[in-house]
Structure 1
Amino acid sequence: MDIRFLTTFIEVAKTRHFGKAAENLYLTQSAVSARIKLLEEYFHTTLFIRQRNSIQLTQSGEKLLPYARQLCATLNEAKQELQIQSSEYVVCGATQLASELLLPQMLSHLHSTFPDWSVKAEVLTLDSLSRQLHERVTDLSFSTEPLKSEEVNSEVLLEQELALYRIGETSDTIDAADFVAIDWGTKARDWLLTAYPQLRDAKLRTNSLNLALNNLQSEGGVAVLPIHVEKQLPQHIKVTKIKAVENVSLKVYVHSMKQVRRVGLAEIIDSVSTAY
């Protein structure tokens, strides 16, 4: 059984509300409901009485609760002890765009500054990034969107302007047939659709800058890209800046928990925060 099923059960029992439990665990409400259902199937019993505006523990749920709390506490203690004994590693998580924009340079910085530390890096969705950070599975997280949590420190490491570019010898018209849409966030998308409503559709949509640049290099087209993108493309590729994205910039954030428990990790976090 996944220990996360028990932590979800404990949170629902505490809040008596699936929606609040989902918010506290950085999950969707459907994910919470699915975990509780699987837990009920595992124990062959009903754990909650679900009524309108009221969720109560059944007798089986009341009996399970102290065991769930004890088991979770024991496993957390074991996890912390194992982390202390093998503390010479750091786990980094990043969303797709952040991994392409900043993570390679950051890994080089960590390897050169802390040669005795091993580094593990993963590309995650924003929801998984937040969850793993709060569960202390991940030590440092990087994303192009802020994390809203009172338990997390977030700092802007990188900020660049964005602009609409034409890559290659494509048509002078700006239409969806040539448009490569990169997910820079709601503000950039709102600006684009206001300035160029015909770009509501696209020939390609992606959350990967590298994939977008490869496609633009081979097929040409228009896309919202970081300024000075010509430095990332071969010199023979024609790059034309059409218009700057107004009042919107690309930001890459670094996130870490405010309470740092592992020995030596605070020094790494401080080093990363001042590296750029």
Structure 2
Amino acid sequence: MDINAIKTFLEVAKTRHFGHAANALFVSQSTVSARIRSLEESIGAELFIRERGNIRLSPSGEALMTYAQGITTLWARAQQEIASPQGARETIAFGGLSGLWDITLQNWLHQISESHPSLAISADIFSAETLVDRLTKGALDIAFLYDAPQSVNLTAKQLKPIKLLMVSSEPMQELSENWHEHFIRVDWGMNFAVQFAAEFPDIKSSRMMTGLGRIAQEQLKRVNGFAYLAEPAVRADLDAGELYTVPNMPVFKRKAYAIFNHDSAKSALVQELLEAL
């Protein structure tokens, strides 16, 4: 089976247009048509329903989607393993949520690249669903998540709890009465939301909300306000006097996990690398 045909199938499924898929893949529209026709012939089923001004997946195309995504993912992993840099004896592929990169993964990446100079590394940002999917399919060796998935095949190692501090853009001894009008709510998950509501029952809504701590952190450098931010990510700004902790405010903790397949041939390497966290 031609891997380019699989990639073309996924692009047509995404764009629902042969011409747009051709532009995205930097090939001619006739090439896209030929690849899809060849794929349909090899599978023995029509993958798209072609209607006037519209293209949609057929039932066979819908069934192929999951397999096609897995095939391209494993193909990329095989290329990494086979074509690793000269001198590299082992490879490791990991991914994490964007927020965890700011908090801990960037520093960890630097540490393992320094301590394992012969290690070929692939590092990415994905959603939680994609991380688990790639991990179970063998495309990743480690996934970093806030919540551990329930799976008998996966091992979850809890990382050091992340301290969440109330941070302000200006130094102060106590909060003003209307402080909540300038509060930026960062979504640190359900557990944090429950604890926050218990500590601040009168705060029902916020003018600004975000799912990424870095957005709130950068906003506080520009406007007056408050937010709960991860201590490792905000430490440099606190030390530099660009942001300030609010005294006498509760400190919350957020759990995070490194997830890996304990039956993997790389399990020992994974656990060795995780010791640096």
TM-score (norm: length of structure 1): 0.64
Q: CA deviation at 1:188?
A: 0.7
- Matched AA of 1:215: Q
SS at 1:200 equivalent: coil
- Matched AA of 1:85: I
Decide which of 51, 70, 82 is 1:85's aligned counterpart. 82
Q: Distance in 2 between matches of 1:73 and 1:188?
A: 34
Q: CA deviation at 1:123?
A: 1.1
- Matched AA of 2:91: Y
Decide which of 151, 165, 168 is 1:166's aligned counterpart. 168
Q: Which position in structure 2 is the counterpart of 1:273?
A: 274
SS at 2:177 equivalent: coil
Q: Which position in structure 2 is the counterpart of 1:253?
A: 257
Contact 2:185 2:228 in 1 (8 A): yes
Q: Which position in structure 2 is the counterpart of 1:219?
A: 223
Q: Distance in 1 between matches of 2:166 and 2:189?
A: 15
SS at 2:160 equivalent: strand
Contact 2:170 2:244 in 1 (8 A): yes
Decide which of 145, 154, 157 is 1:155's aligned counterpart. 157
Post-superposition CA distance 1:82-109 (Å, at most 9, x none): 6653464322201011111111111112
- Matched AA of 1:274: E
SS at 1:214 equivalent: helix
Q: Which position in structure 1 is the counterpart of 2:197?
A: 193
Segment of structure 1 superposing worse, 208-217 or 223-232: 223-232
Q: Which position in structure 2 is the counterpart of 1:19?
A: none
Structure 2 residue 245 is the aligned partner of structure 1 residue 239: yes
Q: CA deviation at 1:162?
A: 2.8
Post-superposition CA distance 1:66-122 (Å, at most 9, x none): xx99x9999999788766534643222010111111111111122112212222211
Q: Distance in 2 between matches of 1:238 and 1:122?
A: 31
Cα 1:76–1:146 change in 2 (3 A) is: closer
Cα 1:91–1:205 change in 2 (3 A) is: same
Q: Distance in 1 between matches of 2:69 and 2:123?
A: 26
Contact 1:40 1:46 in 2 (8 A): no
Q: Distance in 2 between matches of 1:95 and 1:72?
A: 20
Q: CA deviation at 1:221?
A: 1.5
Q: Distance in 1 between matches of 2:100 and 2:245?
A: 23
TM-score (norm: length of structure 2): 0.64
Q: CA deviation at 1:43?
A: 6.4
Contact 1:181 1:205 in 2 (8 A): yes
Decide which of 42, 45, 66 is 2:47's aligned counterpart. 42
Q: Distance in 2 between matches of 1:200 and 1:74?
A: 46
* Larger strand fraction of residues: 1
Segment of structure 1 superposing worse, 122-131 or 168-177: 168-177
SS at 2:168 equivalent: strand
SS at 1:150 equivalent: coil
Q: Which position in structure 2 is the counterpart of 1:143?
A: 145
Post-superposition CA distance 1:196-251 (Å, at most 9, x none): 23433223222222221111122131222345855533225443234214xx5222
Q: Distance in 1 between matches of 2:207 and 2:103?
A: 23
**Structure 2 regions of 5+ residues with no counterpart?**
10-43, 50-57, 85-89
The alignment of Structure 1 onto Structure 2 pairs a total of residues equal to 220
Contact 1:164 1:225 in 2 (8 A): yes
Q: CA deviation at 1:164?
A: 3.2
Segment of structure 1 superposing worse, 206-215 or 194-203: 194-203
Q: Percent identity?
A: 17
Q: Distance in 1 between matches of 2:262 and 2:187?
A: 29
Segment of structure 1 superposing worse, 120-129 or 227-236: 227-236
Q: Distance in 2 between matches of 1:250 and 1:217?
A: 24
Q: Which position in structure 1 is the counterpart of 2:38?
A: none
Q: Which position in structure 2 is the counterpart of 1:97?
A: 99
Contact 1:165 1:242 in 2 (8 A): no
Q: Distance in 2 between matches of 1:230 and 1:73?
A: 39
SS at 1:197 equivalent: coil
Contact 2:73 2:139 in 1 (8 A): no
